[in-house]
Amino acid sequence: MSLAAARTITSAAREVVDTALARLAVDSQKDGRIDLELMDREQQLAYDLASAASRVTAAEEMLAYGEQGEYQAQLTLAFAGEMAADLAARMAGREQTWALAADAAWHGEAFTDAFRAARSTQLLEDLGDRALRSPDLPRDLGEEMQMVRGTFKDFAEQKVMPIAEHVHREDADIPDEIIAELSEMGCFGLSIPEEHGGFAEGESENDFMSMVAVTEELSRGSLGAAGSLITRPEILSKALVGGGTDAQKERWLPGIAAGELMCGVAVTEPDFGSDVAGIKVSATRDGDSYVINGVKTWCTFGGKANLLMVLARTDPDRSLRHRGLSLFVVEKPSFPGHAFEYTSPLGGRMEAKAIPTLGYRGMHSFEISFEDYRVPVDNLVGGEEKLGKGFYLQMDAFANGRLQTAARANGVMQAAFEAAVTYAGERNVFGVPLGSYGLTKTKLGRMAATIAASRAFSYRSAALLGAGSGQMEASMVKCFSCLAAEWLTREALQIHGGFGYAEEYAVSRYFVDARVLSIFEGADETLALRVIIRQLLQEAL
The residues near 51 (Cβ < 8 Å, ≥ 6 apart) are 90, 479, 480, 483, 528
Which value, in Å, is the radius of gyration of the alpha carbons in the chain?
Answer: 24
The DSSP bridge partners found for residue 339 are 353
Element (H, E) at 68: none
How far apart (Å, rounded) are the C-alpha atoms in residues 25 and 534?
Answer: 9
Give residues with Cβ within 8 angstroms of 71, minimum separation 6: 130, 138
Q: Where are the alpha helices (DSSP H) in 258-389?
A: none
* Pairing mode of beta strands 349-354, 339-343: antiparallel
The DSSP output letter for 296 is: E
Active site residues: 521
Residue 491 vs residues 87, 414, 452: alpha-carbon distances, Å? 21, 13, 16
Would you state the torsion angle of the CA atoms of residues 451, 454, 458, 459, taken in this order, to the nearest 10 degrees?
60
Q: How many CB atoms lie within 10 A of CB 238?
A: 23
| Cα distances (Å, whole numbers) of residue 189 to 35, 143, 335, 472 | 40, 21, 22, 24
In the chain, what are the helix, strand and coil shares in percent, each to the nearest 5? 60, 15, 25
E strands, 168-267, are 263-266
Please give the full DSSP string across 44-61, using - where no structure is assigned: HHHHHHHHHHHHHHHHHH
Of residues 297, 159, 327, the one with CA closest to residue 236? 327
Degrees, nearest 5: CA angle 234-401-420: 115
Q: Are 283 and 312 in contact (CB under 8 A)?
A: yes
